[in-house]
A and B are shown apart, each in its own frame.
Chain A
Amino acid sequence: MDPNLITSTQAAVDPVFMFIFGACLLLLVGITGAMVWFVIRYHRSRAPQPTSQNDGNVWLEIAWTLLPTLLVLAMFYYGWAGYLALRNVPKGALEVTATARMWSWNFTYANGRSSSKLYVPAGKPVKVNLVATDVLHGFYLPAFRVKRDLVPGMTNYAWFVATKPGSYDLFCSQYCGTGHSAMITTVEALPSAEFTAWLNKEGSGGEHPGKELLEKQGCLGCHSLDGSPKVGPTFKGIWGRSVTVLTGGRERTLTVDEPYLRRSILEPKADLVKGYPPVMPASPLKDEELKSIIDFLKSGGAPSLKRDGAGLEIK
């Protein structure tokens, strides 16, 4: 298969699915059909005695060795050709680096822009360089039939092209612990001009810098902003909330304030919120970064963000 003829990864893979499923269906129907027919036709009620004691036939054996051999060789070949299309990145693809950690995604672009969603221009091939910082993860885009593991100490890659603008699921496919199934985000395919605008928007795309940091640091992999349950407690309405924590094994109740938030970010194991697993990694942030995050959390971490460039009102 000529890689230049491949218009998208799904176009390379789907015909292989069709071919193998089609052949399998024929075989299955044949085998089952023969079996059911024999069982009915030669049921003891109809065939009280066997009418043959034939125990083999060389020609049949040769036939049903050779024919399946040819068939599986064809499957092998198409499978391999389709796979090569997944490996040959078209020229001029946009390069993005995906960094996976427990349990969040971060995508960085050549100009330093970074995001927890994978923004791409529709219609343009994207090459994603895959790195993991802790354990194995898997970069999986079902809509594009693309999957590749992220392995610590090794850079893998995958490519795809979103032929139409839209939002597509991105899953972690390689088991990575408690937050594995929560480690999902999306590919946001934007029309080309919109994408360029997004890419070149200064640092914080109109959003609160604290929120940008939460995204970039991967905090939002485990903490939601909208109150939905994730691996860790939600940020929604966190400021001033009263929490029960385990400090050195002892339970105490306190109110969320600045010192508590600082301690929780820098030394997550110091106060463990009751009912949650002790899995959060420490994040050594700079002081101004901490301030900015705490400032954002004071606002209640509310999802009142609008993508209107107006920034976040801090109440």
Chain B
Amino acid sequence: MNPSDNLHPASGSFWNDTGKSGISSWIFSTDHKRIGLLYFWSVLSFFLVAVVLGLLLRIELMAPGRTIMGPETYNALFTVHGAVMVFLFIIPGFPGAFGNLVMPIQIGARDVSFPRLNLFSWWLYMIGAAVIIIALFTGGGPPDTGWTFYVPFSARTGTNVSVAVFGVFIVGFSSIVTGVNFVTTIHRLRAPGMSWDRLPLFVWSLYATAWVQILATPILGITLVLIIAERVLGVGLFDPMKGGDPVMYQHLFWIYSHPAVYIMILPAMGVISEIIPVFSRKPVFGYKMIAFSSIAIAAAGSLVWGHHMFTSGISDRAILIFSFLTFVVAIPSAIKVFNWVSTLYRGSISLEAPMLYALSFILLFSIGGLTGLILGAAATDIHVHDTHFVVGHFHYVIFGGSGFALFGAMHYWLPKFYGRKYAEKPALIAWALLFVGFNITYFSMMVLGMKGMPRRYYDYLPEFAPLNLVSTMGSWILAVGLVLMLVNLIRGLRSGEPVGNNPWGGATLEWTIPSPPPTENFSEEPVVTHGPYDFSKAGKP
């Protein structure tokens, strides 16, 4: 899992500094760059595992009836697929990997405020992940509740829900700790001259995200503890026979899990706001609006959880309010999209891999966001709620959106930390395969949902067969693209062309220091003299 210790090109970089060597120089390192890479490779491993599970789900759905597994296996697989993707991949992915790698350098700092806490958060993440893995192979076997763990089913099923939920609980703490660390770092450790209006937009987005991590995650923690109490002690908080209420569980779950969607997407938007100006050689359009809309999304996004519950039996008045607020949060997202597109206008655009991922992010995220309007309107949500339309919609947002942004970030920033770069041509082919495969896979799902195919369905009526087959074939194209992308990227990082300080012509601080950076990042504290997208001064602090 660890990048092997013999490939770092430049001496004097963070790759070969410490007295320690081997694995312990990584898993006990407090250097934000090493922790970032630890996070990156762990998160990527879980992603690949969950991708395999997703592909298996698609194979099962290739044709009606049993294809390769029975219903129990299917139910466990989509639960594990969803839970791993959400809790072990995309939530920790941005802050843990690229936040750690890039954010301190972008603000001109030596490290985060609490380096040891930072290491601790990775350890919490790994311990939580280990507990989740243990849950899969012990007791009643992998949970089969869906990643939402809805009661009363999750309180009754014989599968190993309590242990899995405990693992997620621990991972939640890792997220809180990262959030605290980042808020403090961004407030306290900015270099002289790095005023709030010179903060790169990626940092702004991490700042908004960190607040969501701090404020929302504790509620997830409480909710998960309540499930365990329900199962182990039979307290009946959610059991109507004992005065409890199953709908209350859904409120608690979504009070965290809707804002969690913004933990997944905000930093992705931050990445896009970095890549687009650099590859257009033009300052980002509407810096203030983009920065402000991150905060607005984080704030208003905490009040819309009820749109997951329009069919649950909550009151019509609640639906009125939640539907209204949902439409309100759509506005700042739209503003961002318009600003990104305007940034392109009269620029000088080069279509290298990071830019292709950023541009396809705009399209895929727009499809995800616009189909979200269907889900936010009360009348239409009723028809498509809990169908494959929702499965298509959220894959567009978190895979087409956050996932593609992460791939973009990998092409954009990893060369900085490895000092070497991937090959451009295979990268373009891989991108094309991913883009085409993605749309075939998930657009078909949205159509299936419109036709009425519910989600979490192991089997379906013959009328849904043709599109399911199409979707499954799309997932194979997607898989090939993914393999090609990773092989090309990893080969490039090991033995690709060396890159200089500033391969893309960026104007943020990470491009002023060597690739790979030295341990202390800056030989002397930088004094920032210009904004993050002032390309006339690119390469200077």
Contacts and interface: CB of A to CB of B under 8 A. Distances in A.
B52 interface: no
A75 to B, nearest CB: 5
A172 B460 CA distance: 12
B379 A138 contact: no
Interface string A133-148: 0111010101101111
A44 B153 contact: no
Interface in B321-350: 323-324, 327-328, 330-331, 334-335, 337-339, 341-342, 344-350
Given A47-B349, A175-B153, A178-B144, 6 more contacts: A24-B371, A27-B370, A31-B341, A52-B282, A72-B327, A79-B377
A288 interface: no
Contacts of B366: 27-28, 31-32
Given A20-B374, A38-B341, A76-B327, A13 B383 contact: yes
A174 B383 CA distance: 13
Given A31-B362, A153-B241, A79 B323 contact: yes
A180 interface: yes
Contacts of B376: 75-76, 79
A152 B246 contact: yes
Given A28-B367, A179-B71, A148 B335 contact: no
Interface stretch (B205-213, B262-270, B451-459): B451-459
B289 interface: yes
B523 to A, nearest CB: 31
B459 A181 contact: yes
Interface stretch (A61-69, A196-204, A212-220, A242-250): A61-69
A151 B238 CA distance: 11
B363 interface: yes
A64 B335 contact: yes
A83 interface: yes
Contacts of B153: 135-136, 175-177
A171 B448 CA distance: 14
Given A24-B370, A42-B347, A142-B452, A154 B247 contact: yes
B194 to A, nearest CB: 18
Which one of B66, B379, B383 has the highest number of Cβ atoms from chain A below 10 Å of its Cβ? B379
B152 A138 contact: no
Contact of A151 (B66, B246, B330): B246
Nearest to A79: B377
Interface in B259-308: 280-289
A182 interface: yes
Contacts of A68: 330-331, 334-335
B21 interface: no
Given A51-B346, A178-B72, A180-B458, A12 B379 contact: yes
Interface stretch (B105-113, B311-319, B435-443): B311-319
9 contacts: A35-B344, A42-B347, A52-B347, A55-B284, A80-B378, A134-B156, A142-B452, A147-B382, A180-B75
Contacts of A78: 377, 379
A60 B386 contact: no
Contacts of A72: 327-328, 330-331, 373
B234 interface: no
Contacts of A12: 379
Nearest to B381: A79
Contact of B327 (A13, A73, A143, A172): A73
Given A177-B157, A181-B457, A138 B285 contact: no
Given A13-B379, A136-B153, A175-B150, A24 B373 contact: yes
B287 A148 contact: no
Contacts of A277: 72
B158 to A, nearest CB: 8
B386 A173 contact: yes
A42 B349 contact: yes
Q: Which 10 A-B pairs have the closest CB atoms?
A: A153-B240, A79-B377, A142-B452, A82-B379, A83-B378, A38-B344, A52-B346, A55-B283, A24-B370, A181-B457
B275 to A, nearest CB: 14
A12 B316 CA distance: 17
A83 B454 contact: no
B130 interface: no
A166 to B, nearest CB: 14
